[in-house]
Amino acid sequence: MPEMNSHLRSDCGNCFGLCCVALTLTKSSDFAIDKPIGKPCPHLAEDFGCGIHSRLRGEGFPGCTVYDCFGAGQKLSQVTFDGVSWRAEPGSSELMFALLPVMKQLHELLWYVEAGLREDAARAVHGELRALRDETEELTRGSAEELVALDVEEHRQKVNGVLVRVSELVRREWAAAVPPRKNGKKRKTDLRGADLMGARRSGADLRGVNLRGAYVIAADLSGADLRGADVIGADFRDADVRGADLSAALFLTQTQVNAARGDGGTRIPVRVERPGHWG
């Protein structure tokens, strides 16, 4: 696992199997069973490990191989609840499970903020980003009661305002490097929330394009260049990114990489891992 952002990556060995208990599973192509919030997955072992971890996809649980909590699970387990599990202290279970999505959102914001701090093009807002990083990290270390009372959406909007500015600065720099089209037509660079499901964009030059919240489910992005593209909230499920360049895709997460279909030729940032199920 890369050392960079390691505190914002899932560390199952230091978590109480929270995603295996606190989340709802719906029987589908992603999960082989229905499971309500608060009920442990039948494959959760006594030591909080997964009994079928090495064969999740074969057993009908590919959704588990996509999920990443941004390190929220171990923060709750080891910091918020001082290393005392919901099995050791059953009375804490309801609160612990309710706080997983809260902590996950805070850690996701930290991931984006730190991504912005790595961008030289966004140095004009680095001071604001550092302040937001410190504020958000402090929130993650609050008590369980403080986390319950936290208005996460309000904080998210505050952080997002600066992330939008990061996006504009970074995308402008990347877009400037794209040569003009020979036909004289302007390239469409704002694809926020666009429906690109199943779209054929093989080999496309998407440098500096705004793909925030776009649906690229099952899209053909093989060989495409997504450097400098803002991909916050973009749905990459089953997107073909074989041979694509995602090495400098802005705000790219492990979950998005896990959800896509890549290969040895796919370029990804050093801060994310190459999924084991890629060809």
Query: Domain boundary at 172, 202, 220, which?
Result: 172
Predicted confidence at residue 6, as pLDDT, reads 73
Residue 178, in any domain of the structure: no
Residue 1, in any domain of the structure: no
Residue 27, in any domain of the structure: yes
pLDDT in tens, 108-150: 999 999 999 999 999 999 999 999 999 999 999 999 999 999 9
The predicted model gives 244-260 an average pLDDT of 98
Q: Are residues 46 and 75 in the same domain?
A: yes
Q: Are residues 166 and 189 in the same domain?
A: no
Residue 222, in any domain of the structure: yes
Predicted confidence at residue 1, as pLDDT, reads 34
Q: Per-residue DSSP letters for the chain? A: --STTGGGS--GGGS-SGGGTSS-B-SSSS-SS-B-TTSPPTTB-TTS-BTTGGGTTTTT-HHHHH---TTHHHHIIIIITTT--TTTSGGGHHHHHHHHHHHHHHHHHHHHHHHHHT-GGGGGGHHHHHHHHHHHHHHHTS-HHHHHH--HHHHHHHHHHHHHHHHHHHHHHHHHTSPPPTT-PPPP-B-TT-B-TT-B-TT-B-TT-B-TT-B-TT-B-TT-B-TT-B-TT-B-TT-B-TT-B-TT-BT--HHHHHHSB--TT-B--TTSPPPTT--
The structure tokens 């991931």 sit at 111
Predicted confidence at residue 185, as pLDDT, reads 79
Looking at every residue in the chain, the average pLDDT score rounds to 95
Does residue 51 carry a pLDDT above 60? yes
Q: State the Cα–Cα distance between residues 220 and 39, nearest whole angstrom.
A: 38
Q: Are residues 168 and 187 in the same domain?
A: no
Q: Are residues 191 and 158 in the same domain?
A: no
Residue 243, in any domain of the structure: yes
CATH of the domain at 268: 2.160.20.80
The predicted model gives 249-273 an average pLDDT of 97
Q: Are residues 30 and 165 in the same domain?
A: yes
Q: Are residues 104 and 218 in the same domain?
A: no
pLDDT in tens, 160-198: 999 999 999 999 999 998 888 777 778 889 999 999 999
Domain that holds residue 221: 183-279
pLDDT in tens, 77-116: 999 999 999 999 999 999 999 999 999 999 999 999 999 9
Q: Are residues 160 and 28 in the same domain?
A: yes
Predicted confidence at residue 78, as pLDDT, reads 97
Query: Domain boundary at 140, 172, 204, which?
Result: 172
Q: How many domains does the chain have?
A: 2
Q: Are residues 78 and 130 in the same domain?
A: yes
Q: Are residues 141 and 57 in the same domain?
A: yes
Does residue 279 carry a pLDDT above 60? yes
Nearby residues of 100 by Cβ (< 8 Å), 6 or more positions away: 18, 19, 22, 23, 69, 72, 73, 76
The predicted model gives 57-63 an average pLDDT of 95
Q: State the Cα–Cα distance between residues 159 and 164, nearest whole angstrom.
A: 9
Predicted confidence at residue 104, as pLDDT, reads 98
Residue 69, in any domain of the structure: yes
Residue 198, in any domain of the structure: yes
Q: Are residues 137 and 238 in the same domain?
A: no
Query: Domain boundary at 114, 146, 172, which?
Result: 172
Q: Are residues 148 and 238 in the same domain?
A: no
Predicted confidence at residue 180, as pLDDT, reads 84
Predicted confidence at residue 187, as pLDDT, reads 86
Residue 262, in any domain of the structure: yes
Task: Judge contact between 196 and 177, C-beta under 8 A.
Answer: no
Does residue 232 carry a pLDDT above 50? yes
Does residue 63 carry a pLDDT above 50? yes
Predicted confidence at residue 182, as pLDDT, reads 75
Does residue 2 carry a pLDDT above 80? no
Predicted confidence at residue 186, as pLDDT, reads 82
Does residue 261 carry a pLDDT above 80? yes
Q: Are residues 38 and 142 in the same domain?
A: yes
pTM of the model: 0.94
